[in-house]
Amino acid sequence: MGIKRQILGKENIPSDGVLVIPGRLDFSEMLHLEKAFAGRNITWLCEENVTLNDTVKKFLERSNVTAVSFSVDDTAPIEIGKKLTGKLAHGGLLVFICGCVCSTRGDNCHIPADNLKQLCALGLPILPISVTHPKDISSASENISNLPDTVFSIAPLILAKDASVAAWRQALLLAEEFAFSQRSFLNGSLPITLLTGLKKYGSSTKLYDGTDDSELGFDKILATAITFAEELKRETKKKRVGIILPPGKGGMIANLAVLFAGKVPVNINFTASHDSIGSAIKQANLDKFITATPFLLKVPSYPWPPKKDLIFIERRLPKLKKKIIRWLILTKTLPVYAITKMLGLDNSSGDDEAVLLFTSGSSGEPKGVPLSHKNVLANVCQFGSRINLDHHDKVLGCLPLFHSFGSTVTLWYPCIEGINLVTYPSPLESKRLAELVEMHQVNMLLATPTFLRGYMRRVKPEQLRSLNYVVTGAEKLPLSLAKSFEEKFNIRPMEGYGLTETSPATNLNLSTPVPDGRKPVIGANRSGSVGKFLPGMAVKITNPATGAPSPINVQGTIWLRGANIFTGYLNNKQKTDEVIKDGWFNTGDIGRIDDDGFLYIEGRLSRFSKIAGEMVPHEAVEAAVTKALDLDAETERKIAVVGIPDKQKGEAIALLTTICGEALEQECIDLRYKLMDKGLPSLWCPKRFIPVDTIPILASGKLDIKACQQLAE
């Protein structure tokens, strides 16, 4: 049996009286807090209309228990606070009980925003406590029996003068991040964890390859990857191996084999410019590349390395059949530790490099992002804890393997957690993808808004009927597209957020739980937001101009901390020092967090123009132009905003567009008047129209900012 309760941050408990606000609290946790605060007078505080279960009611009705209530409708919270101050005398504690709510698994806050506002307005010092259930946020590689039932992580005190919902939420996330970062599985090894998952679920879980409608059990994938790994060890002594393959059985086997060979897989972006590809290969110091002949013939324009450096997977594997059968038998009969020893896997784990990805290069030269074993294991756990998929469910894997979401969620996540995977080499062929969704009854679709537009044009509603999740990222999801998609397919696309540097997922919108009687519902999604933070993420906001700390509900630069965040760029200390300060990562994005914990991304710092001293967000201008011109967000992108030099104001807004007529100057003037009539400031209005044939888009679906800027110049 494991430890039942764990308390972190005891040193943050003040000797003076304080209002204690835990993120969640059931009856057993109340009793444990009572023991933790032994010797202190405790008054239990709850909202008068809260739903309490019978056990809690009976406990509060006992003669030796003190309990009081307040109302969210009270217009004078300071007066309530003054009456409650007496409860804090001689180190007394007011402990808030949030009561019964309807919430999603893994949500760290069960307190409605109205209650939080009232509590923070009482004028009392506040002690936030994160209360998490590790068994609800666990990795398949963990021994559940050794996990504590509950972890209390106590945040530093918030003074009465600083009390606010934003301050409490920020402290709660920080406390939860600290608790999550202590988890022992984060010190593990990615290849050993993959080996464990593939062995455990091998006979019941499969990969369905949409290119030839073949299927391969995870047990056979494991045996094949181990056999191929032995070949790779003989091929190169280098630390890393390049992979030039799309999603499919070949791509998965190649990536697993590189890891089982004790090396680092580097999935090369075969859609990037020749300069970017050359830069990535040079930075990674690669001398061998795994690919396949059909793929080589399909993309002849790719700057292929010399033939002697290429390892053709479809030529090698047929020669290894006997060894594969041998390993299939061994992996089914031997324990993981014995297989690990036979493979000669080294002791790399935790903070050691496990995977190397490269940024898209949307705003410059691609940067190498080494993700550690800890980063990948953390993110698989974080993402998996919020997505309620079972071992019979299926994920559609069509995002490129060089894409961070494609790597973590359609390679490592299915193998570790035992989820069936349906693959296809391109996210653009929506008609074929819809056929695969219908044929295999796929449960989760990963896409970008750009790719969703293809489904809107080419797919019948009944083909996507099996989907439980449609998760989008990489670019902002237009509200009109989300609504239209829901109307057609009866499922709402849920926008998430992440970066290559964060492994990638940090935020996710989910379906809100169904109401249950009088219990308050804690919302799990919010239109326009990228969702709540995944477990184990901390956030802070700074002023983009001064760098000074700001409340998290005020728009500013987003900084993140968590076990899934990388520690620095490959061989680039200067860039690393620019984005990582005291363990915090500067995302370069501008945003804010609302009182319910939802993150809003309001632009990329590189997608702002500083005009006459004012920061102008390009995405906000694009949204206004789309509305003014009545453009259809369901079709391909027709506009993009860029900044151009301006002698008078330093910078001006230019509009790249595919829809210009002949009288460009007049069209620009007309648009400016339309925008100003809608309330857009004059400084924000496009000063120039730049006609283009197409708006540059990356393979990931993101706007190619670098190419747009080059077109403008």
CATH number of the structural domain spanning residue 264: 3.40.50.12780
Do 155 and 18 fall within a single domain? yes
The residue whose two tokens read 């009705």 is: 61
Residue 230 has a pLDDT of 94
Give CA–CA dist 512/602, Å, rounded.
23
- DSSP β-bridge partners for residue 601: 591
Q: Are 53 and 132 in the same domain?
A: yes
Residues 14 and 42 in one domain: yes
Is 494 domain-assigned? no
Cα–Cα dist 53/31, whole Å: 15
CA 318, 321, 324 angle in degrees (round to 5)? 125
pLDDT in tens, 63-105: 787 888 777 666 778 888 888 888 899 999 999 988 888 888 8
Q: How many CA atoms lie within 13 A of 239 on its CB side?
A: 11
258 is a domain residue: yes
Asked whether 92 and 20 are in contact (CB, 8 A), the reply is no
Strand, coil or helix: 286: coil
Q: Please identify, among 375, 407, 426, the residue that sits at the C-terminal boundary of a domain.
A: 375
Task: Evaluate whether residue 338 is within a structural domain.
Answer: yes
Tally Cβ neighbours within 10 Å of residue 484.
Answer: 18
Q: Is the pLDDT of residue 641 over 60?
A: yes
Segment 651-671 shows an average pLDDT of 73
pLDDT for residue 371: 97
Question: Residue 673 domain-assigned?
Answer: yes
Q: Are residues 364 and 235 in the same domain?
A: yes
Q: What pLDDT, on a 0 to 100 scale, did the predictor assign at position 131?
A: 93
Phi, psi of 422 (to 5 degrees): -110, 120
Compute and round to an integer the Cα radius of gyration of the chain: 27
- Cα-Cα-Cα-Cα dihedral sign, residues 587, 588, 589, 591: positive
Element (H, E) at 576: helix 573-579
Determine the angle formed by the axes of helices 321-333 and 190-201, rounding to 10 degrees.
80
For residue 322, the one-letter residue type is K
> Are 25 and 93 in a shared domain?
yes
pLDDT mean over 649-666:
72
500 occurs within a structural domain: no
Sheet strand arrangement including 42-47:
5-8, 150-154, 126-132, 18-22, 93-96, 42-47, 66-70
- What's the total number of domains in the chain? 4
Clarify whether residues 196 and 344 are in a common domain: yes
Query: Across residues 214-222, what is the average pLDDT?
Result: 96
Q: How many C-beta atoms surround the C-beta of residue 575 within 10 A?
A: 15
Condensed to tens digits (0 to 9), the pLDDT of residues 358-391 reads: 986 555 578 999 999 999 999 999 998 888 888 8
The answer to whether the beta carbons of residues 711 and 650 sit under 8 Å apart is no
The pLDDT of residue 2 is 46
pLDDT higher than threshold 70 for residue 349:
yes
Output the domain CATH number for residue 555.
2.30.38.10
CA trace torsion 624, 625, 629, 630 (10° rounding): -50
In this model, does residue 619 exceed pLDDT 50? Answer: yes
Q: Is residue 431 part of a domain?
A: no
Residues 568 and 618 in one domain: no
Comparing 83-92, 100-109, 332-341, 421-430, the range with the smallest average pLDDT is 100-109
Total length of the chain: 713
Contact by Cβ (8 Å): 503, 190: no
Residue 534 has pLDDT above 90, yes or no: yes
If asked whether residues 642 and 700 sit together in one domain, one would say yes
The answer to the question of residue 481 being in a domain is: no
Share of the chain above pLDDT 70, in %: 94
Question: Domain range holding 625?
Answer: 609-712
Question: According to the model, what pLDDT value does residue 149 have?
Answer: 86
Assigned domain for 36 exists: yes
The stretch 582-598 carries a mean pLDDT of 94
Say whether the peptide bond before residue 544 is cis (omega within 30 degrees of 0): no
- Which own/partner pairs from 49-52 qualify as long-range (CB within 8 Å, at least 24 positions apart)? 50/97, 50/98, 50/99, 50/100, 51/99, 51/100, 51/101, 51/517, 51/518, 51/519, 51/520, 52/97, 52/99, 52/100
Same domain, 41 and 156: yes
- Is the pLDDT at 176 greater than 60? The verdict is yes
Q: Are residues 593 and 618 in the same domain?
A: no
CB 405 within 8 A of CB 444: no
Confidence class for position 247, pLDDT limits 50, 70, 90: very high
The predicted structure's pLDDT at residue 1: 45
Angle between helices 218-235 and 249-260 (to 10 degrees): 60
Confidence of residue 515 (pLDDT cuts 50, 70, 90): confident
Q: Report DSSP state, residue 318.
A: G
Average pLDDT over residues 27-38: 85
CA triple 452-458-463, angle to 5 deg: 85
Average pLDDT, the chain: 88
> For 45-54, how does the pLDDT look when each residue is reduced to its tens digit (9 = 90+)?
888 878 788 8
Q: Are 37 and 118 in the same domain?
A: yes
pLDDT value for 662: 54
Q: Are residues 35 and 153 in the same domain?
A: yes
E strands, 292-437, are 310-312, 353-358, 368-372, 394-397, 420-423
- Residue 218: its pLDDT value, please? 97
pLDDT of the residue at 300? 80
Residue spans of alpha helices (H) in 152-241: 165-181, 190-201, 218-235
Give residues with Cβ within 8 angstroms of 417, minimum separation 6. Answer: 140, 197, 380, 384, 389
The average pLDDT across 311-340 equals 95
In contact, 615 and 650? CB cutoff 8 Å: no
Q: Which of 375, 390, 411 is the last residue of a domain?
A: 375
**pLDDT surpassing 70 at residue 412:** yes
pLDDT at 693: 83
Q: Where are the beta strands (DSSP E) in 516-657?
A: 532-533, 538-542, 549-550, 556-561, 580-581, 584-593, 599-604, 608-611, 614-617, 639-646, 650-657
Q: How far is CA 420 from CA 218, 314, 343, 531, in A?
A: 9, 23, 26, 26
